[in-house]
Amino acid sequence: MSNTTTGKTPADKAPAARTPAAGEDQDLGAAGSQLTTAPKEEAPNLPTLGVIGWARWFWRQLTSMRVALLLLLLLSLGAIPGSLIPQEGVDALKVEEFRENHDVLAPVYDKLGLFHVYSSVWFSAIYILLFVSLIGCIVPRTWQFVGQLRGRPPGAPRWLTRLPAYTTWRTGAEPEEVREAALKLLRKRRFRAHAVGEAVAAEKGYVREAGNLVFHVALIVMLIAFAWGQLFRYEGNKLILEGDGFSNTLTQYDDFRSGNLFDPDHDLAPFSFTLKDFHGTYEPSGPNRGTPRVYEAKVAYSEGAYGEERSTTIKVNEPLEIDGSKVYLVSHGYAPVLTVRDAKGKVVMDKEATALLPLDANVTSSGAVMVRDGYRNAEGEREQLGFNAFFLPTYGGEGSTMLSTFPALINPMLALSAYHGDLGVDAGFAKSIYQLDKTNLEEFKDSDGELFKKQLKVGETMTLPDGAGTVTFDGVQEWAGFQVTRQPASGWALAGAVAAILGLAASLFIQRRRVWVRAVKGADGVTVVEMAGLGRSESAKVPEELGDLAGILYEQAPDAPDAPKNDDDSPESPDTHVVPAEGAEK
């Protein structure tokens, strides 16, 4: 008589009686004998761990998941000061400014290494310990996973009814036929399946463990790539006037930063380029007025000392890539072209362009013009001239504010204030070329005794007081700012990040589960089929998947002819009777 199980019988739910195993009575007696009033004997002294024991204990703690998460948290917290506090490797001027403005905090930050967080001892220690912890965690898990792949799914438990998902029915097919059909079905569904005695054991979801390992390996790749990139990276900036060129040597940069293991003699890619033309157009009206529409620099470049010259266009986010280095277009501005004559009319600056730095989105610019050599005043004495310069590419006209109204050259105006004396550029230490050091400079005075200054349009000339000379505003030249960077192993870091995301997704969304199918002859000679499933993690899909598999297998091994019927006189299918075992979450 065939039967379809729709649940558990009361007998199944009742705990089975158990007879104490041999020797268990003696164990209970021994346990009871301890309940006496006799004085408790002192435990013998335990042996100390020793050096090897402590080393093993430390290694187990270091490679535990708890410590790995703690180190990752510490690494994240340690990176916060690097974002909030000026860093010497990023902006040394801001660090010096911070030291001048914070007499109390600056020495503390210096001792803690907060001005160079990423190269400090404590940050490196956390970084290395995390690296070792990940490796110590991955290696044994990898061998364990390899062992699982080389092994086979375990055989069926004795009591399949105790598993979270379970179904059964009786069929007229032979047990061997049922097991063969189950084996084919499970393999078709990409289960690793094999026959074990009277049952078929199958397992699926190994990608979950593989994804977990990929995630951890990807973290190591990212750590190595990040460390390698920081040690061998370099980054430099260069402002270039139209028509001028640049060669990738250390002395050519306006400012330069590099990693601790960077060697400028070997790691700088040999190339050069010339800025032929900068072209920029801007939105003329509307809410986006002044926003760049075209922002590009046309350059001619060559690789190596004798490379063939080629032409290309560098745009924003479209850098020029040469031998692992990238040349980005990062800024743009204007350079007024001036001619300066001394008291006797001698030209001491002949149509020379001086780059000024932008102050706002409309390229209102400021800077300094310096005449270092060749100038003589009205008394014939050698001096140096300095001018504070303020430039507006689009001047609003008389009575308007001293701010440009548009970034393009529509109505350029240059305002100069004049000084004479010693510029301090020969003092033997570096000074900014965009600011005047007025320590040893004297102001030119106008007729009212105020600082002499004047606004000039293109073609106009300013005559210095007391016949000290003239300054002519001849025109405007454009410049472009470039950033040359090299970040080794950035491709590895990107690949590690992508692999980490994919591995994490696999470990989160793929479920590891097992399925067993047992087919045996009953006492009445009819084959009894049992199917059960078990998820190795919380998953509501195990009963659904088991029901689907059972429905397909039932079509190949249906109920025996004398199986009980439903009201519609059709045999019951087991796919609607997959029930969770008692105590399992529904």
User: What pLDDT digit, counting tens, does each position of 220-275 carry?
Assistant: 898 889 888 888 889 999 999 999 999 999 999 998 888 878 888 888 989 999 99
Are the C-beta atoms of 508 and 537 separated by less than 8 Å?
Answer: no
- pLDDT at residue 358, rounded to an integer: 94
Phi, psi of 551 (to 5 degrees): -65, -40
SS3 517: strand
Instruction: Measure the CA–CA gap between 366 and 356, rounded to whole angstroms.
Output: 5
Least confident piece of the model among 4-13, 380-389, 513-522, 575-584: 4-13
- pLDDT at residue 370, rounded to an integer: 93
Confidence of residue 348 (pLDDT cuts 50, 70, 90): very high
- pLDDT at residue 45, rounded to an integer: 55
Percent of the chain with pLDDT over 90: 44
Instruction: Measure the CA–CA gap between 555 and 475, rounded to whole angstroms.
Output: 91
Q: Which residues contact 473 (CB under 8 A, 6 or more apart)?
A: 336, 337, 338, 414, 456, 457, 458, 459, 460, 461, 462
Q: Which residues contact 506 (CB under 8 A, 6 or more apart)?
A: 207, 208, 210, 211, 212, 214
Answer yes or no: is pLDDT of 586 > 50.
no
Instruction: Measure the CA–CA gap between 126 and 174, rounded to whole angstroms.
Output: 63
Which range of 20-34, 79-93, 328-342 scores highest in mean pLDDT? It is 328-342
- pLDDT at residue 430, rounded to an integer: 66
Which two tokens mark 205? 């979801």
Least confident piece of the model among 8-12, 261-265, 527-531: 8-12
Across 56-79, average pLDDT: 85
- pLDDT at residue 241, rounded to an integer: 96
Element (H, E) at 227: helix 206-232
Phi, psi of 544 (to 5 degrees): -65, -45
Across 323-334, average pLDDT: 93
Answer yes or no: is pLDDT of 11 > 80.
no
DSSP 292-359: EEEEEEEEEEEESTTPPPEEEEEETTB-EEETTEEEEEEEEEEEEEEEEE-TT--EEEEEEE---EE-
Across 409-420, average pLDDT: 95
Element (H, E) at 222: helix 206-232
Instruction: Measure the CA–CA gap between 136 and 7, rounded to whole angstroms.
Output: 47
- pLDDT at residue 567, rounded to an integer: 44
Give the architecture-level CATH label for domain 153-205+511-580.
Answer: 2-Layer Sandwich (3.30)
- pLDDT at residue 539, rounded to an integer: 61
Q: Decide which of 409 and 51 is more confident.
A: 409
Confidence of residue 538 (pLDDT cuts 50, 70, 90): low
What residue has token string 């400090």? 120
Pairing of strands 384-392, 413-421: antiparallel
Q: Decide which of 92 and 308 is more confident.
A: 308
- pLDDT at residue 47, rounded to an integer: 57
Answer yes or no: is pLDDT of 390 > 80.
yes
Across 67-93, average pLDDT: 84
SS3 235: strand
What amino acid occupies position 94? K
Confidence of residue 148 (pLDDT cuts 50, 70, 90): confident
Q: What end-to-end distance do the CA atoms of the chain give, in Å?
A: 31
- pLDDT at residue 138, rounded to an integer: 84
553-585 per-position pLDDT tens digit:
998 877 665 544 444 444 444 543 444 444 333
Q: Decide which of 16 and 463 is more confident.
A: 463
450-486 per-position pLDDT tens digit:
999 999 999 999 999 988 999 999 999 999 999 999 9
Nearest to 244 by CA among 563, 517, 482, 511: 482
What amino acid occupies position 151? G
Q: Return the exposure string of 421-437: e unless at least 16 CB atoms fall within 10 Å of the residue's CB, then b.
A: eebbeeeeeeeeeeebb
Instruction: Measure the CA–CA gap between 269 and 385, rounded to whole angstroms.
Output: 39
Instruction: Measure the CA–CA gap between 89 and 390, rounded to whole angstroms.
Output: 31
Across 484-494, average pLDDT: 91
Integer CA distances (angstroms), 442 to 338, 341, 433, 451, in order: 21, 19, 18, 10
Q: What is the pTM of this model?
A: 0.67
User: How many CA within 13 A on the CB side of residue 452?
Assistant: 19
Which two tokens mark 23? 């020797």
Answer yes or no: is pLDDT of 310 > 60.
yes
What is the dihedral angle through the alpha carbons of 37, 38, 39, 45, rounded to the nearest 10 degrees?
-120
Partners of 321 in the β-ladder: 326
- Domain residue spans in the chain? 51-147, 153-205+511-580, 231-327+484-497, 333-479
- pLDDT at residue 560, rounded to an integer: 60
Nearest to 354 by CA among 368, 374, 375, 339: 368
Integer CA distances (angstroms), 476 to 341, 394, 413, 584, in order: 19, 12, 10, 81
What residue has token string 């040469």? 322
Q: Decide which of 7 and 348 is more confident.
A: 348
Least confident piece of the model among 52-66, 149-163, 290-304, 489-503: 52-66
Angle between helix 541-556 and helix 175-188 axes, rounded to 10 deg: 130
What residue has token string 């289960």? 191
User: How many CA within 13 A on the CB side of residue 16?
Assistant: 6
Instruction: Measure the CA–CA gap between 271 and 301, rounded to whole angstroms.
Output: 7
Confidence of residue 427 (pLDDT cuts 50, 70, 90): low
Instruction: Measure the CA–CA gap between 555 and 504, rounded to whole angstroms.
Output: 38
Nearest to 396 by CA among 382, 412, 383: 412
SS3 578: coil
- pLDDT at residue 350, rounded to an integer: 93
Percent of the chain with pLDDT over 70: 85
Confidence of residue 78 (pLDDT cuts 50, 70, 90): confident
